[in-house]
Amino acid sequence: MDATKADDDLDALERLNRDYIASVQHGDVQRFGELLADDFLCSNPDGTLVNRAQFLAQTAQPVTISGLVAEEVKIRLFGDVALVHARTRYRTAGGDERHGRYTDVWARRGGKWLAISAHVTR
């Protein structure tokens, strides 16, 4: 892969990752609608596997955490597929600081990066 193209892809994926995290924090169903592939699946911390529609429905629920940030973000490119690994830090409704991890899988489809899978732990 051309180094400039890889740099452009990394920049785009960094922006998309920031948008994804902001969408979680703010319950932004509309932005998630733009970020998620039609066949998106998410493994939730409770062990459930949800599809795109179910994920958007859970995103529409009131947000009970605050201060969500992604740390130690690592983006790995494999042509038209990318993995994003990161650690999260946030506060519960009761004010306790918590941490988690996530791995998101992105695929370039029709020239656009879309999230196709997520795995979240807390």
Per-residue pLDDT of 66-89, as tens digits, reads 999 999 999 999 999 999 999 999
Cβ atoms of 111 and 91 closer than 8 Å = no
Does the domain at 3-121 match CATH 1.10.10.10? Answer given as no
Query: What was the pLDDT predicted at 1?
Result: 59
Low-confidence ranges of the chain (pLDDT < 50): none
Tell me what pLDDT residue 111 has: 95
Q: Which amino acid is at 76?
A: R
Burial of 54 from C-beta contacts in 10 A (0-12 / 13-18 / 19+): middle
Tell me, yes or no, if the pTM score tops 0.85: yes
Geometric angle at alpha carbon 3, from 82 and 34, rounded to 5°: 35
